[in-house]
Amino acid sequence: MSDPAGTATDVAAQESAADESARNPSALWFADTGTLGERTRRVLLELLKGPYVSGAQSPQLWSALVADEGIVRSRLHDLFLELVIDKIDEFAFTRKVVTDEVNVPAAVRSERLTFLDTAMLLVLRQLLLAAPGEQRVIIDREEVYERLAIYRTGDESTFQRNLNGAWNRMSNRLRVLHKAGEDRFEISPMVKFLIDEDQVRELIDVYERIASGEAKGSIAEAGPGSQDTDESDPGDATDNEPEDGEA
């Protein structure tokens, strides 16, 4: 048996939603209560997905971000996230808000970096900073692998497999390497933000001692899993949350 009262209620609800959509110029679908334009919503989503938004790779999203920076920043604050934006190199990412005024919850997942991941980040950062003023810094894989050879332990095939794994994470997970031709790759300026200056100095000291054999203990103690990275925040590769984000 049908319920006339229930039917009437459903119709009234639908009419109310339709009226609301008609009053909302930003609506993208029926009953949409969002107030942002489509591209601004998309750039907000990409920032949350991480690791970053690039003007070179996504010019339309970048334009939306620049146009609605204040709104995007406010929406991220609602989620305890800070917007970090570099308008010169044209990239932006999110990181956890840092404040003593409130206990800030973690808003994004983090993953651990291996010893070779961190060492490779340091090498890429050094190569990038060694070419000041260059619009693009292009390298080849073997150049990076050669610089990491001093950390080899065990058999060559295992070390090569670990190098390939770290390289794939740089390319696909952290997106700091981009294909630039046959066996050539461009280093993203984002790599500068994955580890801050204080952490760089500390890590370089540890890695140099390991490479020279001065450090007691195995590479595993100083390396695998020693760094955290946040998928959404590429800003702080050595924190327990992110790249600043954990990287």
Q: Where are the domains of the chain?
A: 110-230
**Which fold would CATH assign to domain 110-230?**
Arc Repressor Mutant, subunit A (1.10.10)
Confidence grade of residue 114 (pLDDT, cut at 50, 70, 90) = confident
- Quick one: how far is CA 45 from the chain centroid? 13
User: What value does the mean pLDDT take over residues 146-151?
Assistant: 88
Task: Extract the runs of DSSP E, i.e. beta strands, from 110-242.
Answer: 110-113, 138-139, 177-179, 185-187, 227-230
CB atoms within 10 A of CB 23: 8
CB 23 within 8 A of CB 32: no
Would you state the pLDDT for residue 206?
Answer: 72
pLDDT of residue 61: 95
Q: What is the pTM of this model?
A: 0.63
Looking at the DSSP bridge assignments, the partners of residue 185 are 139, 179
Point out the least confidently predicted range of 17-21, 93-97, 138-142, 190-194.
17-21
Reported as a pLDDT band with limits 50, 70 and 90, residue 9 is low
- Residues 121-140 have pLDDT tens digits of 889 988 988 887 777 899 99
**pLDDT higher for 59 or 214?**
59
**Residue 155 pLDDT greater than 90, yes or no:** no
Radius of gyration of the CA atoms of the chain, in A: 23
Q: What's the Cα-to-Cα distance from 67 to each of 26, 39, 119, 126, 241, rounded to whole Å?
A: 16, 10, 37, 33, 29
**Strands, DSSP E only, in the chain?**
53-54, 81-86, 91-96, 110-113, 138-139, 177-179, 185-187, 227-230
Angle, helices 59-67 vs 38-49, to 10°: value is 100
8 Å CB contact between 121 and 170? yes
Supply the pLDDT for residue 243: 35
